[in-house]
């Protein structure tokens, strides 16, 4: 019996434009040689195994096995953002929770991204995560954007980067300088 799939997933059933080997799409779907990996256990394992090798290459590793992969955007997804003990916490596709960092990047595509995993990877905020942050967004008179939650402020800065590369941020925001040496 063929497994039932959400019909909304059909738009990414295959990706003939994907490079050979493992590929992670902008929508967070895994492919192998252009064919979508629909097995939930395998795609979950790949999500949890995303890492960066010492030479900077993106890999999935189970500790014993290591395989390089290509991705279309950031290699990690922020699935949701929630409040915990007065702090904003992100739940990542890797299965790990991390606090929202002090600086949030917005690309020319108007999507939010944050450095994660000790600054070794970028993470793309999924729709639900972005919608959680939207009511907290403040525009200041100097044109800067901030996300305020309780006594904490998170700068939202415009950055165009190769989201597959190591995150680095050093940006002048209004009168102050926001620096994140990652």
The CATH number that applies at residue 58 is 3.10.540.10
Residue 6 lies in a domain: no
Residue 170 pLDDT more than 80?
A: no
103 and 144 assigned to the same domain: yes
Among 50, 71, 92, residue at a domain's last position: 71
Residue 141 lies in a domain: yes
Residue 147 lies in a domain: yes
Predicted confidence band of residue 89 (pLDDT cuts 50, 70, 90): very high
Higher pLDDT, 158 or 179: 158
Residue 169 pLDDT more than 70?
A: no
104 and 157 assigned to the same domain: yes
Rounded CA gap, 160 and 107, in Å?
Answer: 5
Residue 82 pLDDT more than 70?
A: yes
**Average pLDDT taken over every residue of the chain:** 86
59 and 102 assigned to the same domain: no
User: What's the domain range around 44?
Assistant: 11-71
Predicted confidence band of residue 178 (pLDDT cuts 50, 70, 90): very low
Rounded CA gap, 17 and 26, in Å?
Answer: 13
Q: What is the pLDDT of residue 11?
A: 67
Higher pLDDT, 13 or 97: 97
51 and 19 assigned to the same domain: yes
């Amino acid at each position: 019996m063929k497994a039932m799939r959400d019909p909304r997933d059909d738009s990414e059933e295959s990706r003939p434009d994907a490079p050979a080997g493992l590929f992670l799409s902008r929508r967070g779907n895994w492919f192998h040689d252009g064919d979508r990996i629909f097995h939930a256990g395998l795609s979950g394992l790949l999500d949890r195994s995303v890492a960066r090798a010492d030479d900077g290459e993106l890999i999935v590793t189970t500790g014993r096995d290591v395989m390089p992969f290509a991705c279309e955007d950031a290699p990690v997804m922020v699935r949701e953002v929630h409040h915990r003990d007065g702090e904003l916490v992100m739940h990542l596709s890797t299965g790990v929770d991390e606090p929202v960092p002090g600086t949030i990047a917005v690309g020319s595509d108007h999507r939010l991204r944050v450095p994660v995993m000790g600054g070794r990877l970028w993470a793309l905020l999924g729709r639900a995560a972005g919608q959680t942050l939207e009511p907290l967004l403040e525009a200041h008179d100097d044109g800067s954007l901030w996300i305020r939650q309780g006594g904490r402020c998170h700068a939202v800065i415009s950055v165009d980067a190769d989201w597959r590369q190591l995150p680095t941020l050093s940006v002048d925001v209004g009168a102050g300088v926001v620096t994140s040496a990652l």
